Amino acid sequence: MIQLKQVSKRYGDIVALDQIDLSVQDGECVVLIGPSGCGKSTLLRSINRLVDLDEGEILVNGQNISNYKAEDLRRQLGYCIQGVGLFPHLSVYDNIAIVPQLLKWDKTRIIDRIDTLMDLTGLPKTYLTKKPHELSGGEAQRVGVCRALAADPSILLMDEPFGAVDPMTREQIQLAFRKIQHELKKTVLFVTHDMEEAILLADRIAIMHKGKILSLQTPGGLVKGKQDAFVNEFIGADYPLRLLKRYTLSDLEVIKVDQDSSKIPLSSLNEFSTTKEILSEILQSGSQEIMIQKQDKSKVIITYDALIELLRKVLNNEIV
C-alpha cells in the first residue's frame, strides 16, 4: 500500500505537487494521467525518493519512506521508466539480475526467479545471453518489466514505461502487462499521458493538473457526477466510446446459438476482441447483431443492445 499525505513540492516558483493526498490499495493499479508538467512524474519519483519532498509524508506499506536509506527503499520498489534504461553493456540476464544481486540473493534463487519472469513475460530463455541492442523495442520493454519485477517487489512504480514503443507493439505489451497484473496483483502506480493506456490498465485513474489531483475515479466512474471543467475537456466527449476498449466479450450478455440455426453471418472476431471492435463490426454489418465463434467452437450472438447495456453498467459503476 502507498499512502501520500499532504505532499507538496516546489521548484522555485513552480508548484509541482500541491498538497496531494492519495492512497493506492494493495493489489490496485492507479494510473496517473495529465498534460506534461502536471506533476505526475514528480509524484511517482517522490515515492522512491528520486525527488525530495518539501512538505507532507509518504508511507510505503505503513512505513514512512524517510525512515529508510534511499538505496534500501529503492531496492524494495520495482521501477520501470520510459526508454527502458537497460544497461547496454550487460546481457539480458545480468540486466534483470541487478536488484536481486544488490539484495545479495544467492545465485540459484536468482536463476529460478529469472526463469519464472521470462515465462511470465513470454520471452524465450535463449534471450538471456543477448545484449539489449539485439532486442526489438517491444522485447526490450518486456525485459524492462522483468527487471522491475525481479526482486518480487510488492509495489511497482512505472513511469510511462511503454511510451517509446510503436503503437502496435505498445498494445501487445499493454495487454501482456494487464495479464501479468491480473495474475500477480501488485500494487502499481503507473504514469502515462495516453488515455487509452489508462483505460486499459487502471483500477482507478487519477487526473492531475498543475500539481493537484482533480479526479480519482474508476474508468467508468470518470464520466458521471460533477466533473471539473478541465477533467471534462481532458477526457474528451468520446470518452464513453474509448471505454469500450477495456472490455471484451466476457463482459457482455450474449445469446448462445446452436451450431447451424442462425442465418447471421459469422464475423471474423473472437472472444478476445474488445467491445470496441465488436461495436465497429456491428456498425459495419449494417444490422443490429453479429455472431462470433469462440475458441471452443460454440457460437454466440451479440446485439447492439447488449453493448448499450454494458456501457450503462460501466457508467453506473456496476462493472469496474
Partner 1 sequence: MKSSRLKIILGYGLIGLASFALPLGEFKPNRVVKGILLYPSDLFGLVVTLTLFLSILMLFMNQIRKKDPKAWIQWLIISLILLPSLALISLSAAKVSGIDFNPNAARVSLGIGFYVLLLGILIILSQFKSFKWLLLGMITLIVLSAMFDLIPNLGLVKEFNNVQDSFIIALSAHLTLALSSALSAIIPGILLGYVSYSHSQWREWVMGFVNLFQVAPTLSLLGLVMIPLSLLSKTFPVLSQWGIKGIGFAPAFIVLTLYCLLPIVANAYAGFQQVDEAVLSSAKGMGMTPFQIFAKVSFPLASPIIMSGIRTALTQNIGNTILAGLVGGGGLGALIFLGLSQAAPDLVLLGSIPVVIMALMSDQIFEVLEHKLIHIMGVHHDTTQTSQ
> What residues contact 91, with CB distance under 8 A and at least 6 apart?
128, 129, 130, 131
Binding of residue 161 to partner 1 (CB under 8 A):
no
Binding of residue 102 to partner 1 (CB under 8 A):
yes
Classify residue 78 as exposed, middle or buried by CB count within 10 Å of its CB (0-12, 13-18, 19+). buried
Binding of residue 99 to partner 1 (CB under 8 A):
yes
Please give the size of the binding site for partner 1, defined by CB under 8 A.
29
Segment lying near partner 1 (by CB under 8 A), choices 87-95, 178-186, 275-283, 296-304 = 87-95
Q: Pick from 62, 88, 225, 286 the residue near partner 1 by CB under 8 A.
A: 88
Give the cell for residue 155.
509495489
Contacts 24+ apart (CB under 8 A), 257-260: 257/291, 257/299, 257/300, 257/301, 259/299
Instruction: For partner 1, give the closer residue by CB, 133 or 182.
Output: 133
Binding of residue 89 to partner 1 (CB under 8 A):
yes
Binding of residue 191 to partner 1 (CB under 8 A):
no
Binding of residue 186 to partner 1 (CB under 8 A):
no
Binding of residue 71 to partner 1 (CB under 8 A):
yes
* CB contact at 8 A, 154 and 130: no
What is the sign of the dihedral through the CA atoms of 172, 198, 269 and 260?
positive
User: x/- string (CB under 8 A) for partner 1, residues 107-146?
Assistant: ------------------------xxx-------------
How far apart are alpha carbons 180 and 197 in whole angstroms?
Answer: 15
**Among candidates 241, 245, 221, which has minimal Cα distance to 231?**
221
Give the cell for residue 238.
468520446
Q: Pick from 85, 137, 138, 221 the residue near partner 1 by CB under 8 A.
A: 85
Query: Alpha carbon 301 to chain centroid distance?
Result: 30
Binding of residue 240 to partner 1 (CB under 8 A):
no
User: x/- string (CB under 8 A) for partner 1, residues 38-67?
Assistant: -------x--x-x-----------------
How far apart are alpha carbons 203 and 205 in whole angstroms?
Answer: 7
- Which residues sit at the interface with partner 1, rule CB under 8 A? 45, 48, 50, 70-76, 79-89, 98-99, 102, 131-133, 147, 157
